[in-house]
Amino acid sequence: MPKPILQYTVDAFTHRVFQGNPAAVCVLDDWLDDATLLNIAKENNLSETAFVVPKNATSQSDFDLRWFTPTTEIDLCGHATLATAFALTQALATPPDTFYFHTRQAGVLTVQKQDDLFLMDFPAYPLTPVADVAKIGEVLGVTPKVAYLGRDLLCVFDDENWVKNFVPNDEKIAQLDGLLCHITAPSGEFDCTSRSFAPKVGISEDPVCGSGHCHIFPYWAKALGKASLIGYQASPRSGILQGKISGNRVVLGGKAVLFAKSEIYL
């Protein structure tokens, strides 16, 4: 029988199970073919399954990393990167304080562990203003105050209660520009409240979206005139993210908790 694949299921951007964003992390010795990677992600049926392979035999800090939704590979994922760093602290006998994840499209992502917090150095997406916000309003039911397009569509509203109570229509949201759609508003308790939707990649609502905050935090940093922020993701699972803007980079901070450790047999 082939050696089983070790898999961790981790709730990211939270310190409690059943909250935050669950990701599966498969710790591989070598890469499997893409069809098998996608089938594993389909079988898990989570917003992301991460696959991690040692970059070389001599380093416990450098890894190749890829992320798959149940329908496709994605270019950048925050919560599954956090989950991967957390999983490796469980899997390695002497885990380092800093991981270097080599990715296909996002370059090298550095994740530093400080006590129970993981700090991830990510690229900030450039934001281009959207001229026709009325068209977005026709889809969402309320016209955003402003909207921006990076990799994803960012829609800004004044009322955080509207963001919290919004009922998404996947078919309509899939008609909008951008890979994902994020709705956000100022928050009474945090710096911002947001939700993230990704029907184009097989996810109705992403419970806590790290890459989405590579759009959300840069906007609010400029709007609020502050470099360090705390964001609340108002999905039914909920989650809290820390952010710090440094030039064209975003340092995303969050906690994680182990839900399950399992083995995959192929």
Structure tokens at 62: 């450098």
- 138 tagged catalytic: no
Residue 248 identity (one-letter amino acid): N
What dihedral do alpha carbons 221, 224, 229, 235 form, nearest 10°?
-100
Start-to-end C-alpha separation, the chain: 9
Q: Which long-range contacts (CB under 8 A, 24 or more apart) does 186-190 make?
A: 186/158, 186/160, 186/220, 186/224, 187/160, 187/231, 187/232, 188/160, 189/232, 190/230, 190/231, 190/232, 190/240
Q: Which of 43, 48, 160, 263 is catalytic?
A: 48
Active site residues: 48
